[in-house]
């Protein structure tokens, strides 16, 4: 293949001189003979025609475009392609053929657009030269047509070249696909052979395993039979030897010989005589040894006394010398220690001097490093402060959103309580709240439980883990109704829980105080009083040193209860009084009465209502059942039934009970009584 005279088309289009040149500079390149015609035509005009600048903005003689060869590249290519013979040698592959094609197309489009814009701009800027341009355009048409034809042939040649390369690559890929399919088929056949071999070996192994297991089981049976025979044989031999030895033992015990007995006696006598002789000989030797020892001790004492005195003198001398040596060694040790310390101090001082000298030499560098580190740390600190401030802002926003959600939830809960309170008012039943253990009682709904396969329906059911505050919030809407001329009562039964009673008292008084302060803007004045009574053998006034109180509810109100009343302005007043009260040990229940006296002088209205809190949890479950299940509540000595009668029939009553007694029978009885109370209609309606 002949090389291009001016480089490949890729190089021509990528050269700097061709990147931003207008299309007119490429198309309007007339040959010398055509330029001669133009010059001769210009001379034949009747006047000296001005030279018109071509759209390229430069003279053809000064252009950087290389001049075409004498016969032209395209003409040379056409002749070469005609004389070219077919060959089996593949054409050379282009490294980036697809990219070149797209770049070439885009460049042609950009050149055409640039040429059109420039021609239009020149038309608008120089309208006087339109006649002359038309004359030149008509003269240049053959040149442009020939140039475009050459460019089309060049592009056609390039496209044919690309098609041939693409076909060759497709053939190579098809051949590669055939090879891959052939290899895949070989691999699949190999896999099938391996699978068959594995299955045959697996069958042979299973057959061998079965035969081995059969032989092992057969040998095991034979060994077991042999062991059984040997054990039987050994047992028989053992029994025979046992019987034989027992017979011999009996014979040996019954055997007697007089000669042997006399021999034994004779030997015993000889042994006794020898023992006596041995003792006499030993005593004689001991006396001799003691005498010799005494004589030796006397000699040793006299000799050792002198030696001991010499040893003591030497010991004193040794101790004195040892003491001097210790003092000298101690001084030497102290001197060595001081020398070591001085040496260490000298090394530290020398190291410090070297470090100071090094620091003095590198002071400017160290200072710059420290300053840069300090600036970096300050930058990090500012960044951390910025991040911290952003997190503080986010935290404040989150806390604000959290508080808003909490307030929203509280508003929803308050609205729910208002709606539920209105629903229970509409039902007109005695309200019952039950607290039970989920391990013993199954909670079906918020108001329904199942115990011993029996279903019970109440107004609300709480788990045993529920806090007192949650229960109090649920019935606080009821007690707050006393601020609007309504009598309310809360009776606590079931398992003993004094904290619930006292917390209910404080929350109820606080709610009434808040409501009274809210209504003070509407010309209402309120006075709140508290009475505290315990029930033993007779009613006792706990605010008046346990004096006897009188319970009279015949008129359907608590105005007939005669006991000490105490006005209060805050919950702290009630807390102080409750802390000072000593509850009688023999009392089984207690009651608090909060009296609300409201007056509106502008509207000439006034009312008196009561909130009664009655605690029966000190009674046993059986006594509570009897107090609550009386078909006709009447009078008794201490007045408890009177207060229960008042609560059921002359107020909006709520019964709260913790039924976890520990005894299933008591729990069942209490649930049945509460269910009966829950189904009871309350005749009390709000006063007009």
At 137 the pLDDT is 57
Q: What is the mean pLDDT of residues 171-199?
A: 87
At 17, the pLDDT band (50, 70, 90 cuts) reads very low
Mean pLDDT (whole number) for 226-231: 86
Predicted confidence at residue 243, as pLDDT, reads: 85
- CA atoms of 431 and 444, how far apart (whole Å): 19
Cα(573)–Cα(263) distance, integer angstroms: 116
Please answer whether residues 614 and 647 qualify as being in contact, where contact means their C-beta atoms are separated by less than 8 angstroms.
yes
Structure confidence at residue 400 (pLDDT): 92
pTM summary value: 0.47
pLDDT tens-digit series, residues 126-179 = 444 555 455 555 555 555 556 677 777 888 888 888 888 888 888 888 888 888
Range of lowest pLDDT (188-197, 261-270, 383-392) = 261-270
Please tell me which of 28-32, 74-78, 247-251 the model is most confident about, judged by mean pLDDT.
247-251
Could you read off the pLDDT of 275-333 as tens digits, one per residue? 888 888 888 888 888 888 888 777 777 777 777 888 888 888 888 888 888 888 888 88
- The DSSP bridge partners found for residue 382 are none
H/E element, 474: helix 468-480
Calculate the CA 534 to chain-centre distance. 53
> How confident is the model at residue 209, as a pLDDT?
84
Mean pLDDT for the chain? Answer: 78
Pick the residue with more confidence: 30 or 481? 481
Q: What is the pLDDT of residue 432?
A: 93
- Contact predicate 539/550, CB 8 Å: yes
Q: What is the pLDDT of residue 640?
A: 83
Using an 8 Å Cβ cutoff, are 536 and 587 in contact? Answer: yes
Going by pLDDT thresholds of 50, 70 and 90, the confidence category of residue 383 is: very high
Q: What is the sign of the dihedral through the CA atoms of 288, 289, 291 and 296?
A: positive
Higher pLDDT pick, 128 / 378: 378
Task: Give me the mean pLDDT over the 190-206 stretch.
Answer: 87
pLDDT at 48 over 50: no
Residue with tokens 């006063």: 687
Q: Give percent of the chain with pLDDT exceeding 70.
A: 76
Instruction: Decide which of 52 and 494 is more confident.
Output: 494
Region 30-41: mean pLDDT is 47
Q: Long-range contacts made by residues 633-640, C-beta under 8 angstroms, separation at least 24? A: 637/537, 637/538, 638/535, 638/536, 638/537, 638/538, 638/539, 639/535, 639/539, 639/551, 640/535, 640/589, 640/616
Sequence-ordered list of residues with C-beta below 8 angstroms from that of 485, at least 6 positions apart, any chain: 598, 607, 609, 686, 687
- Give the residue with greater pLDDT, 367 vs 379: 379
Q: Per residue in 510-520, pLDDT tens? A: 999 999 888 88
Structure tokens at 653: 């009553």
Give, as one character, the DSSP assignment of residue 612: E
pLDDT of residue 556: 83
Residue 111 has pLDDT above 70, yes or no: no
Mean pLDDT, rounded, for 399-403: 92
What would the two tokens of residue 405 be? 């959600």
Averaged pLDDT for residues 643-665: 88
8 Å CB contact between 648 and 680: yes
Between CA 668 and CA 674 the distance in angstroms is 10
Q: Which of 8, 6, 219 is nearest to 95 (CA)?
A: 8
Task: Categorise residue 428: left if φ over 0, alpha if ψ from -120 to 50, beta otherwise.
Answer: left
For 519-557, write each residue's pLDDT tens digit. Answer: 888 888 999 999 999 988 888 888 888 888 888 888 888
pLDDT band, residue 655 (cuts 50/70/90): very high
Greater model confidence, 520 or 107: 520
- Which residue in 87, 101, 107 sits closest to 166, CA to CA? 101
- Among the ranges 483-492, 569-578, 638-647, which has the highest mean pLDDT value? 483-492
> Tokens 């001799």 map to which residue?
288
DSSP 15: S
User: CA 233, CA 239: separation in Å to the nearest integer?
Assistant: 10
- Binning pLDDT at 50, 70 and 90, where does residue 45 land? very low
SS3 assignment for 62-84: CCCCCCCCCCCHHHHHHHHHHHC
Among 38-47, 222-231, 540-549, the least confident range = 38-47
> Which residue pairs from 39-42 have beta carbons closer than 8 angstroms and sit at least 24 positions apart in sequence?
41/139
pLDDT digits (tens, 9 = 90+) for 668-686: 989 999 999 988 888 886 4
CATH fold for domain 473-652: Kinesin (3.40.850)
The whole-angstrom separation of Cα 484 and Cα 523 is: 14
The values of phi and psi at residue 526, to 5°, are -125, 145
Domain-by-domain residue ranges, the chain?
9-82+97-180, 259-361, 473-652
* Tens of pLDDT, residues 586-635: 888 899 999 999 998 888 889 999 999 999 999 888 888 888 876 444 44
* HEC letters along 567-595: ECCCHHHHHHHHHHCCCCCCCCEEEEEEE
């Amino acid at each position: 293949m002949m090389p291009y005279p001016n480089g490949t088309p890729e190089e021509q289009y990528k050269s700097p001189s061709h990147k931003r040149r207008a299309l007119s500079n490429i198309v309007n390149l007339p040959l010398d003979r055509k330029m001669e015609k133009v010059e001769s035509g210009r001379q034949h005009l009747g006047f000296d025609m001005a030279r018109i600048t071509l759209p390229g903005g430069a003279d053809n003689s000064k252009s950087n475009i290389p001049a075409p060869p004498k016969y032209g590249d395209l003409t040379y290519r056409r002749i070469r392609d005609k004389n070219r013979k077919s060959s089996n040698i593949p054409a050379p592959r282009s490294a980036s053929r697809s990219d070149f094609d797209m770049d070439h197309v885009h460049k042609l489009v950009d050149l055409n657009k640039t040429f059109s814009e420039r021609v239009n701009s020149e038309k608008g800027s120089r309208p006087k030269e339109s006649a002359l341009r038309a004359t030149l355009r008509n003269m240049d048409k053959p040149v442009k047509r020939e140039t475009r034809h050459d460019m089309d042939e060049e592009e056609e040649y390039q496209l044919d070249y690309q098609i041939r390369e693409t076909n060759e690559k497709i053939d190579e890929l098809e051949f590669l696909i055939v090879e891959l399919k052939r290899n895949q088929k070989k691999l699949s056949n190999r896999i099938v052979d391996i699978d068959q071999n594995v299955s045959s070996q697996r069958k042979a192994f299973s057959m061998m395993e079965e035969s081995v297991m059969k032989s092992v089981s057969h040998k095991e049976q034979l060994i077991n039979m042999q062991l059984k025979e040997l054990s039987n044989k050994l047992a028989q031999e053992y029994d025979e030897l046992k019987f034989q030895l027992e017979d011999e033992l009996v014979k040996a015990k019954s055997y007697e010989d007089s000669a042997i007995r006399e021999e034994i006696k004779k030997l015993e006598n000889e042994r006794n005589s020898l023992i006596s002789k041995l003792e006499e000989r030993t005593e004689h030797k001991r006396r001799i040894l003691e005498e010799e020892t005494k004589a030796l001790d006397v000699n040793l004492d006299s000799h050792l006394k002198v030696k001991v005195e010499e040893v003591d003198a030497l010991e004193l001398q040794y101790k004195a010398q040892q003491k001097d040596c210790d003092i000298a060694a101690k001084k030497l040790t102290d001197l060595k220690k001081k020398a070591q310390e001085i040496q260490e101090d000298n090394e530290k001082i020398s190291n410090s001097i070297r470090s100071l000298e090094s620091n003095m030499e590198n002071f400017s560098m160290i200072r710059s490093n420290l300053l840069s580190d300090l600036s970096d740390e300050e930058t990090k600190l500012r960044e951390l402060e910025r991040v911290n401030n952003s997190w503080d802002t986010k935290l404040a926003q989150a806390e604000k959103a959290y508080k808003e959600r909490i307030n929203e939830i509280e508003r929803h809960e308050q609205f729910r309580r208002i709606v539920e309170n209105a629903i229970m008012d509409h039902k007109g039943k005695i309200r019952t709240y039950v607290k039970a253990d989920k391990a013993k009682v199954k909670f079906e709904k918020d108001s329904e439980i199942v115990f011993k396969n029996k279903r019970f329906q109440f107004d609300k059911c709480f788990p045993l883990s529920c806090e007192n505050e949650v229960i109090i919030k649920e019935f606080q809407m009821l007690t707050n109704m006393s601020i609007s001329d309504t009598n309310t009562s809360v009776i606590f039964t079931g398992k003993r829980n004094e904290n619930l009673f006292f917390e209910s008292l404080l929350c109820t008084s606080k709610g009434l105080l808040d409501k009274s302060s809210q209504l003070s803007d509407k010309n209402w004045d309120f006075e709140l009083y508290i009475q505290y009574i315990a029930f033993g053998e007779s009613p006792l006034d706990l605010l008046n040193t346990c004096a006897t109180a009188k319970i009279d509810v015949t008129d359907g109100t608590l105005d007939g209860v005669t006991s000490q009343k105490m006005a209060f302005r805050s919950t702290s007043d009630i807390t102080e009084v409750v802390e000072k009260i000593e509850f009688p040990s023999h009392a089984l229940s207690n009651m608090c009465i909060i009296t609300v006296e409201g007056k509106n002088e502008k509207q000439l209205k006034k009312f008196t209502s009561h909130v009664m809190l009655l605690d029966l949890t000190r009674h046993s479950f059986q006594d509570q059942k009897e107090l609550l299940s009386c078909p006709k509540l009447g009078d008794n000595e201490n007045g408890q039934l009177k207060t229960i009668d008042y609560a059921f029939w002359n107020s909006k009553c709520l019964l709260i009970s913790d039924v976890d007694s520990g005894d299933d029978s008591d729990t069942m009885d209490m649930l049945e009584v509460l269910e009966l109370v829950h189904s009871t209609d309350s005749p009390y309606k709000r006063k007009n």
